[in-house]
Structure 1
């Protein structure tokens, strides 16, 4: 691909505790504070020692590393991999190499910014782990959700406040959709960006990545272009050889319906404190057809599964199990909702004798232009104030800008009433005066709230 200059700017960084934003669920706040219930302790924010323990546990779990290497080599042979990514794929054959996995739907052009943040979080974590455990290798791996069938969740991107929609008919796996008709959307993006070097650069990158390939191939090119130099390894789990490894969970779930019973029990316990993120089905697999992906609703014979296992696709609750069967994975990087539904699987992992990986919450970033930051400061606000509600911000602004001191006025009122009561002997009259004092203070409170 054509190389372009990259432009950087100095960014002022400020960290804000998750609890102070009001944007995160009770589950995530408890996860960060390490206050999850006892049965979810393995789901909490990991310490450095947590990763050490997972390395030991994972070392006792057997993987088909040769198969994983062969699939990754085959899937990535048509793209230009960096030396670091090639080295990481080769290292996966070694027993001392582990993955840090993140994944996402195949959103066009990367979709929402947290698509990017998840990958960056995974890459940064592998660097920290290598520094802490130099005898081991750690590979950042991006898991493409190529079998998802909800095209409406991946066919749009928000750009400069506008929503750009790739409006085509699509059925079945989104990974198989061809991007031939997306060129007009890319041109619309270029027009919105204006005529400048950056728009030309991005237009060229998107045109080369989304050049009539399938959406899976295009996403692979896109992620590799921006993160290949950091060693990212990209895996498409929709692979017949890999799917053979999930035969044990197909048998447990589709043939015997064992998994749903265990997940339902965990989910019930989870629901006592938190909102359930993923609904448990009696059977947690889809069946793939040429143009569709439909839920499996009844038991299927083991013989049929053995002969057609590649036709089955895990849902949101069996996908993590499939992932941990085929990967030497010690950590999963996800958003709040992902960490929540992963926690519903804590008991089924034990049942299947699988190592439950460390759960790592992806970084969350709010980007604020310098002019907006200066405007906030001018109004007397700090960066952390952007998460407060409008009424609260308005009240604080009025209080600061008008310099009203209601506390002082209340003190004066109390003093005046005290003076009046000192010259009155009748107790009933004193009670009436005191009631008047309380009424006026209460009225002042109402005025204060209105003004603020």
Structure 2
């Protein structure tokens, strides 16, 4: 394994601006992401109190369901130390762990926590929260596999009109197993295949929901790293959150106004509208009959209802729900960061480009509750280059860096143009026209001799057909000579820049584990943690 770190610009201009610390953009955040910012944040958090004992009990109980790793429980125990802080990040519970950016985010959390611990001299705990409250099943029920140098989407059929949180949605184990087997059928058999399939089947059989399956796989892949998992939908977590849910209800009008104001400023500054700024949106969900319903402010007196009018509650009734029934309320993308800030001593939040962007609209919402937004640490962007892809790149003279950032399509077209014969299509078109003209002239002369005159159309069509067959034979020969190179370019793009974007947004970890073994992710994590790369760099792992 060889790991290199490169600065790649232009893939996401907004992220480039943030990393380069655009002054106007950074005005929407309370901290930068350097060591000085982390030290200031640590000082700020030293004046706040967190319910550490109960939090540790909840985390211990949850993680014990999926792992016996002593490193994880040591980290949870560290949280009891009043000086300890957290590097946090989260993601949805994707099928088979989802796209690689989830794996990359967990690696980022672990690396950043280790770095901060060295810099600050205090325990820094790596916490990854699973967005188990999210109900959009179409975002997590699929995986992409490579098929003939292209990508094929395999999905578990689910009803998206039923808004059940991922933590509560039962796994269709037979369907998931079918997609798992189909995924493996698209992989070549290696020394690791049988073991990998057996292990993943074991995790599936011992899981009841998408989140169970996800958590089980993550703890398996990252065993020994000390990662701590938290399910945002866990009822024990919800119980801890009850006091702040009451605050979110009580001060909902202030929250809505603050968010809309900040979102409008963000848009007017030219940074877009990453989250819809609806002034009536409460940023809370209410769980009713097993479904998750988004609430809107209904009237000036503080009432709430969902869009369909299935539930209607006064502010007092909603606050009572928060107090009396843990789990009946949940957060959206605006209130979840606030809840995280209240619940955890967050030194820094590992953020993807989209998260950094939408958090830029939340500054005033944080201030409503007397909080400051934590430092947003850009998630590591990691691209894995397998040996087959590297062989193609070497043979075709392709820069891996360029392929990661923009694919190989432009090089493919240039390569084709250099090797294709000069435009022979016009020669065949000219030959076809000349043959037709000769037939027509001959037919015209023969009409004068009635005995020799017959219909010429049949013979003209035969001539056309002969020339077309000749051209197709030439086309096949040209393609046969170019095909190995064209296939190589397509393979490079499918591996490193699929669907016009970074590898991490599409590709799953499964094919890499199949080729290089179940310890691959742990090995990558420890190597990158040892290297402690600059946060601005793109990590390229050659395996």
Q: From the superposition, tell whether residues 208 and 350 of structure 1 become closer, same or farther in structure 2 (CA, over 3 Å).
A: same
Q: Within 5 A, what are the aligned runs for 1:146-161?
A: 146-160=132-146, 161=151
Q: From the superposition, tell whether residues 276 and 44 of structure 1 become closer, same or farther in structure 2 (CA, over 3 Å).
A: farther
Query: Which one scores higher on RCO, CA 8 angstroms, separation ≥ 6?
Result: 2
Separation in 2 of the partners of 1:390 and 1:11?
22
> Structure 1 residues 83-92 or 153-162, which shifts more?
153-162
Q: Within 5 A, what are the aligned runs for 1:372-387?
A: 372-386=389-403, 387=405
- Counterpart of 1:261 in structure 2 is 257
> Structure 1 residues 287-296 or 334-343, which shifts more?
287-296
Task: State the Cα distance separating 1:397 from its structure 2 match.
Answer: 6.2
State whether structure 2 residue 321 is matched by structure 1 residue 304: no
State whether structure 2 residue 51 is matched by structure 1 residue 64: yes
What RMSD, in angstroms, separates the aligned Cα atoms of the two structures? 2.6
C-alpha contact 1:106 1:146 (8 A) present in aligned 2: yes
Task: State the Cα distance separating 1:382 from its structure 2 match.
Answer: 2.7
Q: State TM-score, norm by structure 2.
A: 0.66
Q: From the superposition, tell whether residues 349 and 385 of structure 1 become closer, same or farther in structure 2 (CA, over 3 Å).
A: same
Q: From the superposition, tell whether residues 13 and 223 of structure 1 become closer, same or farther in structure 2 (CA, over 3 Å).
A: same
Separation in 2 of the partners of 1:379 and 1:71?
54
- Counterpart of 1:325 in structure 2 is 342
State whether structure 2 residue 77 is matched by structure 1 residue 79: no
Q: Of 316, 331, 354, which residue of structure 2 is paired with 1:314? A: 331
Separation in 2 of the partners of 1:204 and 1:169?
29
> Per-residue displacement from partner, 1:261-300 (whole Å, max 9, x unpaired)?
1111111111122122111332111111233211112324
State whether structure 2 residue 124 is matched by structure 1 residue 126: no
> Per-residue displacement from partner, 1:367-406 (whole Å, max 9, x unpaired)?
33345445444544433332357786479769999xxxxx
Q: From the superposition, tell whether residues 331 and 185 of structure 1 become closer, same or farther in structure 2 (CA, over 3 Å).
A: same
Separation in 2 of the partners of 1:329 and 1:317?
17
- Counterpart of 1:89 in structure 2 is 76
State whether structure 2 residue 164 is matched by structure 1 residue 175: no
Task: State the Cα distance separating 1:52 from its structure 2 match.
Answer: 0.7
- Counterpart of 1:439 in structure 2 is none
Q: Within 5 A, what are the aligned runs for 1:251-400?
A: 251-253=249-251, 256-271=252-267, 272-281=269-278, 282=280, 283-298=282-297, 299=303, 300-309=313-322, 310-386=327-403, 387-388=405-406, 393=411
> Structure 1 residues 191-200 or 201-210, which shifts more?
191-200
> Per-residue displacement from partner, 1:24-73 (whole Å, max 9, x unpaired)?
0x321110101141662636651111111111111112211122112112
Q: Of 2, 15, 20, which residue of structure 2 is paired with 1:33? A: 20
Separation in 1 of the partners of 2:43 and 2:187?
50
Separation in 2 of the partners of 1:290 and 1:337?
32
Task: State the Cα distance separating 1:109 from its structure 2 match.
Answer: 0.7
Separation in 1 of the partners of 2:411 and 2:4?
22
Separation in 2 of the partners of 1:226 and 1:381?
32
Separation in 1 of the partners of 2:177 and 2:25?
52
C-alpha contact 2:94 2:142 (8 A) present in aligned 1: yes
C-alpha contact 1:220 1:234 (8 A) present in aligned 2: yes
Separation in 2 of the partners of 1:203 and 1:395?
39
- Counterpart of 1:213 in structure 2 is 208
C-alpha contact 2:93 2:211 (8 A) present in aligned 1: yes
Question: Which secondary structure does the structure 2 equivalent of 1:333 belong to?
Answer: strand
C-alpha contact 1:99 1:329 (8 A) present in aligned 2: yes
Q: From the superposition, tell whether residues 188 and 380 of structure 1 become closer, same or farther in structure 2 (CA, over 3 Å).
A: closer
Question: Which secondary structure does the structure 1 equivalent of 2:382 belong to?
Answer: coil
Separation in 2 of the partners of 1:245 and 1:311?
13
State whether structure 2 residue 95 is matched by structure 1 residue 108: yes
Task: State the Cα distance separating 1:176 from its structure 2 match.
Answer: 1.0
State whether structure 2 residue 162 is matched by structure 1 residue 144: no
Q: From the superposition, tell whether residues 396 and 168 of structure 1 become closer, same or farther in structure 2 (CA, over 3 Å).
A: closer
Question: Which secondary structure does the structure 1 equivalent of 2:138 belong to?
Answer: helix
Question: Which secondary structure does the structure 2 equivalent of 1:242 belong to?
Answer: helix
Separation in 2 of the partners of 1:187 and 1:392?
35
C-alpha contact 1:99 1:140 (8 A) present in aligned 2: yes
Aligned length, in residue pairs: 386
> Per-residue displacement from partner, 1:247-269 (whole Å, max 9, x unpaired)?
3442245xx42111111111111
Q: From the superposition, tell whether residues 259 and 302 of structure 1 become closer, same or farther in structure 2 (CA, over 3 Å).
A: same
C-alpha contact 1:31 1:43 (8 A) present in aligned 2: no
Separation in 1 of the partners of 2:388 and 2:330?
48
> Per-residue displacement from partner, 1:305-358 (whole Å, max 9, x unpaired)?
333113111111111111111011111112100111111111221221113111
> Structure 1 residues 79-88 or 50-59, which shifts more?
79-88
State whether structure 2 residue 4 is matched by structure 1 residue 16: no
Runs of at least 5 residues in structure 2 that lack an aligned partner in the other structure:
298-302, 304-312, 420-543
